[in-house]
Amino acid sequence: MKKLAVIYHSAHGHTRHIATQVFEGAAGVPHTQVLLLQAEEVAKTPDMLLSFDGYILGSPTYLGGVSSQFKAFMDATGRLWRTQQLKGRLAAGFTVSSLPAGDKQSTLLSMFVFCMQHGMLWAGNPFLPEQHAGVPYDEAVNRLGSWSGLMAQAAHGAPADAFAPGDVKTARLFGQHVAQTLQRMSGSAQGMLREALA
């Protein structure tokens, strides 16, 4: 059994809605135990991260970066960074914003750099935009065209679940992809990698 944590912050529910879709996609992969955790809670006891094989990180994009609550979670892992105890684990990231671009890439990059500083392995969002194959834009998987991580967009002031169906589909596929990638990393291979990186 592999353990995966979906760790997110959401002030107004949009990122929580996408985190739930990611969670459901991952939870459907056999031999995977998935937990949905709030970044604020993990920040209080960051050592809980040691019990997971992988992490999917989610934050709204606030002013072109992660929210302050999500950054507080990142900063709470400072002691784990010093001891490099998260080395060799799998990580991936997603973000939600109200504008079509909205500088979401910058948020994903911040998560990526965080994970690289911890020596983790990064999984992306490897889906071709389905609108190129004739699927209506709103229904298309990866309609926003993001490979480095998952992006989703809900209009300013819209209800927390007001995402295009394509974003919901992508979130589920993304969760499934990360969990499947984790399954492909055998326990012993992960252990060997951690030893090699130690």
Ligand X SMILES: Cc1cc2nc3c(=O)[nH]c(=O)nc-3n(C[C@H](O)[C@H](O)[C@H](O)COP(=O)(O)O)c2cc1C
CB of 22 closer than 8 Å to CB of 94: yes
> Could you write out the DSSP letters of every residue in 140-181?
-TTTT--SSSEEEE--TT--TT---HHHHHHHHHHHHHHHHH
Rg (CA), the chain: 16
Rounded least distance, CB 81 to ligand X, Å:
26
CB nearer to ligand X: give 10 or 125: 10
Rounded least distance, CB 155 to ligand X, Å:
9
Rounded least distance, CB 102 to ligand X, Å:
2
CB nearer to ligand X: give 130 or 167: 167
Cα separation of the two ends of the chain: 24
CA distance 6 to 149: 14
CB nearer to ligand X: give 24 or 103: 103
DSSP 186: -
Rounded least distance, CB 161 to ligand X, Å:
11
Rounded least distance, CB 151 to ligand X, Å:
10
Return the half-sphere exposure (C-beta side, CA atoms, 13 A cut-off) of residue 149: 27
Rounded least distance, CB 108 to ligand X, Å:
13
CB nearer to ligand X: give 50 or 99: 99
- 3-class SS shares of the chain: helix, strand, coil, % to 5: 45, 20, 35
Binding region for ligand X (CB under 6 A): 10-15, 60-64, 96-99, 102-103, 154
Q: Residue 173: which residues within 8 A CB-CB, separation 6 or more?
A: 25, 127, 141
Name the residue number minimizing CB distance to ligand X.
102
CB nearer to ligand X: give 12 or 87: 12
CB nearer to ligand X: give 46 or 60: 60
